[in-house]
Structure formats: C-alpha cells, structure tokens
Amino acid sequence: MLIAIPDLLDMPGVAAIRAIIDAADWVDGNITSGHQSALAKNNLQLPEDGVAAKKAGQMILDALGRSPLFIAAALPLRIFPPLFNSYAGGQSFGVHVDNAVRIQAGTGFRVRSDLSVTVFLEPPEAYEGGELTIETQFGVQQVKLPAGHAVLYPSSSLHRVEPVASGRRVASFFWLQSMIRDDAARQMLFDLDRSVQGVAAQLGQDHAEVIRLTGVYHNLLRRWADV
C-alpha cells in the first residue's frame, strides 16, 4: 500500500510549520537512528524532545485528524509524534528498512511501525534530487510531492532518500501502528471503503445496498482489528 495524501496541509499551514522549525536548532539526524540506519543516514533533524518539534508535530497530528483519506487508508491506532528532517549539499539516506518498533525517547510510549509517513514541507522545484524511493511489489516508486502533501507506505519496505544536489529538502516523517496489522487486509478495507462511498454517492446513504456494504466493511474491521 502506497498512498499519496494530497493537501494534508494548506499553504498557510505549511508556512506556519516552517516558521517554527526554520527558527529552531537542527542536529545530526542519527539521534533517532537504529544501527542499520546510522550506516546510511546523512541529514539534519530537529531534536524530538524540543519545543519546535513538539509544536509543529501537533499541527501535523491535527491535520491528520481532519483527513478522511488518511484515516481510511491508515486506520491508525497509535501515531509516533512527528519528527522533522532536512537534506542539503548532497545529503541522502541510503537503502534501509524502518525499525519494527519505535520508542519515544524518555517515555514508555511505543508503536509497532506498520506504516511510515512523509509530509513534504518544501516545494519540489526548490531542490534537485531528494526523491523518496520505495521498493514495492509493483517495482520501484519515486515520490516527490508538493509542499503540504504526504505519502503513506509500508514501514517494512526498502526505501531511501536520494542525494539532494541543490537546494534544501525539508519534511516531517513518522510512523504509525494501524488497527490492521496485515497490509493486504488494510488495502482491502481501504478499497471497500472507497467503493461504499462511491455507491452511497450514487444511491444515497440510506439505500439497502449501501447499508449492507457498510455492514460488511465493519464486520471485516471487527474481525481483523487489533485494538
């Protein structure tokens, strides 16, 4: 499952987040790396326990809560607080798989990383390179979206950030634990949800077929959900 979330943030939202994080002090990105990632990672990052990361991260969490597409696709149970990174001057992040469990520093909060999320915070024309390259069952996909757009993809996938040859790539990134552990089951529920919405738009929410399909969706969710 690789799904783009258009306009998660509007332009004023992007500008507000950038004003917060651009004024903060950035550090070596390996402060949150596991052993494998540390061998491949070369970027800057905001300290996750800093005021700027917490304030800007809450703005992204609020936007996620307002996105029906994100909720339908991810079926989130727990979301790791958003982090922020920056690439420039040839910096990159080589091929890696995200850690299976992410633990918030200094707390007992942890999530199983079912899905990874990147929220782009820099216009794509402002930097060269920096594509998020994800190896999927359908081949290699490269993602470089407008500022304010997000992409959702399996944390188990091999992925990398290509070198940034010029300009600066700024983004938020984080992980989430879905109510549905299995990616194929989650995809089926997402497809069914979109179909229910499409039929409802044609026939009305109170049509017998819409009610029956909605029941199928919730009964599958009830069968598969881990809450």
DSSP strands (E only) in 110-213? 110-112, 115-120, 128-129, 132-136, 139-143, 150-154, 159-161, 164-166, 168-178
Report the distance separating Cα 155 and Cα 159, nearest Å. 9
The annotation status of 149 as a binding-site residue, yes or no, is no
The annotation status of 114 as a binding-site residue, yes or no, is no
Residue 181: count of CB within 10 angstroms of its CB: 14
The annotation status of 169 as a binding-site residue, yes or no, is yes
The annotation status of 35 as a binding-site residue, yes or no, is no
For residue 207 the two structure tokens come to 């049509």
For residue 38 the two structure tokens come to 């540390």
Instruction: Please write down the long-range contacts of 64-68, taking CB distance under 8 Å and 24 or more positions apart.
Output: 64/8, 67/5, 67/8
> Taken in order 10, 60, 76, 214, is the CA torsion positive or negative?
negative
User: Residue positions in the annotated binding site for Fe cation?
Assistant: 96, 98, 159
User: Residue positions in the annotated binding site?
Assistant: 96, 98, 159, 169
User: Residue positions in the annotated binding site for 2-oxoglutarate?
Assistant: 169
